Amino acid sequence: MGEKTFVNCTGGGPIRVHVEGGKITKVRPLVFDENDAASWVIDVDGKKYTPPRKACVAPFTLTERARVYSEDRIMYPMKRVDFDPKGAPGSTGPGGRNAQNRGKSPYVRISWKEAFELVGNEMIRIRKDYGPEAITSRASSHHNWGNVGYRTGAWSRFFSLIGFTDILDNPDSWEGWHWGATHTYGFYWRLGNPEHYDMLEDSLRNTELIIHWGNDVDSTHGIYGGNESAQWRLWFRDKGVKQIFLDPYFNYTAAHVGSKWISYRPGTTSALAAAIAHVWLTEGTYDKEYVERKTLGFDEFKKYILGEEDGTPKTPQWGEEVTDVPARTIVALAREWASHRTTLAGGTKGGEGGYCRQAYATEHARMLVLLQAMQGLGKPGVGIWGTGNGPPYNHTLDFPGYASGGNFNLMAEKPIANPVAQRLYRITAPDAILNGKDAWMGQPFCGGSLEQQFIKWEYPLPGHSKVKMFYRYGGAFLSTMVDTNKWVRMYQSPELEFVVNQDCWFSTETRLADVILPACTNLERDDISEYASSGGYSLHASGSANHRIIIYQQKCVEPVGESKSDYDIFCGLAEKLGVLQEYTEGNTWDQWIEKMFYKSDLPKYIMFDEFKKKGYFVVPQLENYKPTPALRWWYEDRTCDTPDTSNPKRHTDKGTELGTYSGKIEFVSQSLLANTPDDTERAPLAKYIPSWEGHESEAFKKYPIALISPHPRFTFHTHHDHHVPWLSEIPGHRLDNDGYKYWVARVHPSDAEPRGIKQGDVIELYNDRASVLCVAQVTERVRPGVLHSYEGAASYDPIEPGKAGTTDRGGCVNMLTPSKMVSKNVPGMAPNSCLIEFRKWEA
């Protein structure tokens, strides 16, 4: 049988898929042909910069063949052997529901007919007995890709239609920027990340120094942008632009292009920032005119830094005591920074290092904005830019990002909104289920206004039922959330009368369900999307790729095993619940995709049939392109001229302002002053506050090692880990010990030797919360006293299955991380404020 090729897309880039005899034989990055639109060229002093004529995809993207045919694929619907839906809620023993055995008991195969009957009837029962709010559901981040057939499409539409207690996501990758930086420079409509337009060109022209603070963009890829920007940082290097890296770990980007590595004690970054400000204040090396013109409250900040407020000047010597960075290095860093046109690659979008997910992360993110304010943020070459987005960009072609077409509402005749007001919060959902109540302040992942951060939530809402059923979709929270043994406890609680898990692969949470439903991957069905485009609160996020590529995701092969597309699964359930017509509006799957096409600007450029056949469209560059660098308008007191249509002040009479209350950069935050004036942990003026789990805390005596667990290098969160054996052959990802592929923990020789640990030894990471086995990578790349691992292991392999808290061999280091939130009024997670001890594992 001849070979056919198809085009599809992933969370790490678009691919060409080769198929022979109904089987995928190879998965390649998408390579352009001569008919595709020309690439941009940036001319700087006669040197021409232009990207390769292909998609520079992420490593995990190239494993899609192995992932589709993974041994971890769920091949047919299953039911836990000792789950009997006839049993009363909380019943145990024969004929019971046996919630306590979730995670312990095996499964039996059932047919799809039985599965739809079982799940459908349970949903009908629970809705009848308790109301629609008794069902909760949540998707994971990006185990598949596609606007229509994935989580913001098929899943979201189904649950919004029937009504459910949604689980609010937290901005888990950049908490500090969302909850902190928004109160300093606005950009709440981007959840604290600044606009990024034309930063590549502006920085190539003007930037003399790049400071990567907690930024490992070669690992985090601008989120969905694969390796697109790796080349850019080489351009800077070859141009002679030095790149300094501040991180407790000598990260992959530092290893690639770094010219200097400064490593600080975890949890002390805002002290380092304060000490830098002290140097600038005492040496007068900051932009006084800018501070006067563009900021508010500088005098109070100055008093704090100089110690006039609390009696402690934040000198470099003070900074050394707190951060363990030598005072003279702090001075040198401050001088290099101030004497060059410096861009701060501060760990915004794409570079989510440890510090924005730690105790008081708000203070650090705010401090970074303030530091750049002192150097004239918005001036040519002086930006806050993670170096992972912002090439020349044609924004004029509108194509909805995955978060913009949600619920099919763009295309449906009758838009759907979830009628249930009750919410759970992702970080505390297990506590809410186990304790029957929850309360928090702040609507997370919400870019409508700063005030949303002060909304008070409670669970259950008055007049609402508690949650009785959890429908988990693409499960992986055990190694992405915090203190995750509590998720195991939650799953085993009889409070949850029924648990469904719908996924393509067995992942960390799958075997904690009563019924498992096999979904197919997006290589096994059609869809439509744009490379790296999320839409929503990340408008024009496809600027993390060199080219805008819109993809007709062509079905490459039939669904593996008995798996079905998510849409077909939800159609099956919608039929049981009597809402099939409302769900589909009589459309076929192809018609939904076609409708998305016609809702976009694509028809102005290409015919649907041609697009569908070719599989992709490269958006042409604008002729006579005029760059509008991010925040230049702000610096020059002009009205916002970037394409950031999500900026609510743009094209209004306040168009020259930032999104803060005053419209200026606020050293003293007016929104915090107005809403939480008495908060000392996120006070109106940003400060260094010693971590509640750091080197000055009580726990340090018992657990002297700081665990940092940033986003992983070779996978997307948990996705592709474990399911793909090839990745386990990369020594930076997993390492073999006696035939078992362990998750990697990186430790310095000075910490390994006293514990009798050698390279390749299995070690136990432990604290009062958990015990996790990893393999030791003994390396000079990690700061002494720090253990570096990654979040995102896809396997949960407890030594005693079904027992929460038992040692995990899978590598879910998140089990060790604290539940405690960033601060009292900041409900963000803080996994990088985590103290542990480790020892050689003697099994």
Q: Name the residues annotated as catalytic.
A: 142, 172, 402
| Helices (H), ranges, 324-479 | 327-339, 361-374, 429-435
**How many other C-beta atoms are found inside a 10 Å radius of the C-beta of residue 344?**
24
Q: Whose Cβ is closer to another protein: residue 76's or residue 261's? A: 261
Q: Whose Cβ is closer to another protein: residue 137's or residue 342's? A: 342
Q: How far is the CB of 233 from another protein (least distance, A)?
A: 8
What secondary structure does DSSP assign to 214-229, as a single string? S--HHHHTTTT-TTTT
d(CA 54, CA 309): 56
Q: How far is the CB of 28 from another protein (least distance, A)?
A: 6
Amino acid at the residue 165: T
> Is the distance from CB of 812 to CB of 484 less than 8 angstroms?
yes
Q: Whose Cβ is closer to another protein: residue 262's or residue 672's? A: 262
Q: How far is the CB of 675 from another protein (least distance, A)?
A: 41
Q: How far is the CB of 695 from another protein (least distance, A)?
A: 18
- Can you list the pairs that 539-542 forms with residues at least 24 positions away whose Cβ atoms lie under 8 Å? 539/190, 539/401, 539/644, 539/645, 539/646, 540/196, 540/197, 540/393, 540/395, 540/643, 540/644, 541/222, 541/223, 541/224, 541/349, 541/389, 541/401, 542/393, 542/401
Contact positions vs another protein (CB under 8 A): 25-29, 31, 52, 54, 56-59, 62-63, 65-66, 218, 226-228, 230-231, 234, 250, 252-253, 255-256, 260-263, 327-329, 331-333, 335-336, 714, 725-732, 748, 779-784
Q: Whose Cβ is closer to another protein: residue 513's or residue 560's? A: 560
End-to-end C-alpha distance for the chain, whole angstroms: 51
Q: Which residue has the tokens 């969302």?
A: 178
| Helices (H), ranges, 10-132 | 64-68, 112-130
Q: How far is the CB of 727 from another protein (least distance, A)?
A: 8
Q: Whose Cβ is closer to another protein: residue 52's or residue 380's? A: 52
Which residues, other chains included, contact 356 with Cβ-Cβ below 8 Å and sequence gap of 6+?
173, 174, 175, 176, 177, 214, 347, 364, 365
Q: 3-class SS at 823?
A: strand
Q: Whose Cβ is closer to another protein: residue 70's or residue 646's? A: 70
> Is the distance from CB of 695 to CB of 265 less than 8 angstroms?
yes
Q: How far is the CB of 736 from another protein (least distance, A)?
A: 10
Q: How far is the CB of 298 from another protein (least distance, A)?
A: 27
Cis peptide before 460 (omega within 30 of 0): yes
Q: Whose Cβ is closer to another protein: residue 29's or residue 811's? A: 29
> Is the distance from CB of 196 to CB of 349 less than 8 angstroms?
yes
Q: How far is the CB of 255 from another protein (least distance, A)?
A: 4
Q: How far is the CB of 530 from another protein (least distance, A)?
A: 19
- According to DSSP, the β-strands at 438-441 and 456-459 are antiparallel
746-777 per-residue burial string, b: 16 or more CB within 10 A, e: under 16: bbbeebbeebebeeebbbbbbbebbbbbbbbb
Which pair of tokens denotes residue 509?
Answer: 């949470």
Tell me the CA distances in angstroms from 117 to 75, 82, 510, 581, one per residue in order.
19, 18, 20, 19
609 phi, psi to nearest 5 deg: -60, -40
Q: How far is the CB of 328 from another protein (least distance, A)?
A: 5
Tell me the CA distances in angstroms from 152 to 164, 406, 408, 409, one per residue in order.
15, 5, 8, 10
Sign of the four-CA dihedral 254, 255, 259, 264: positive
Tell me the CA distances in angstroms from 614 to 12, 395, 398, 550, one per residue in order.
20, 22, 20, 11
d(CA 371, CA 822): 22
Nearest to 391, CA basis, from 536, 246, 597, 541: 541
Q: Whose Cβ is closer to another protein: residue 58's or residue 432's? A: 58
Helical axes 230-239 vs 199-206, angle rounded to 10°: 10
Which pair of tokens denotes residue 352?
Answer: 């989510």
Q: What is the dihedral of CA 574, 577, 581, 587, to 10 degrees?
A: 10
276 backbone φψ class: left, alpha, beta (φ>0; ψ -120 to 50): alpha
> Is the distance from CB of 719 to CB of 142 less than 8 angstroms?
yes
Q: Whose Cβ is closer to another protein: residue 24's or residue 433's? A: 24
Which pair of tokens denotes residue 323?
Answer: 């951060």
Q: Whose Cβ is closer to another protein: residue 226's or residue 351's? A: 226
Q: Which residue has the tokens 């351009």?
A: 235
Q: How far is the CB of 621 from another protein (least distance, A)?
A: 21
- Which residues on adjacent β-strands are paired with residue 746? 777, 788
> Is the distance from CB of 648 to CB of 189 less than 8 angstroms?
yes
Q: Whose Cβ is closer to another protein: residue 262's or residue 515's? A: 262
Q: Whose Cβ is closer to another protein: residue 43's or residue 729's? A: 729
Q: Which residue has the tokens 């340090």?
A: 700
Q: Whose Cβ is closer to another protein: residue 13's or residue 171's? A: 13
Q: How far is the CB of 78 from another protein (least distance, A)?
A: 25
Q: How far is the CB of 730 from another protein (least distance, A)?
A: 5
Q: Which residue has the tokens 């109301």?
A: 131
> Is the distance from CB of 692 to CB of 820 less than 8 angstroms?
yes
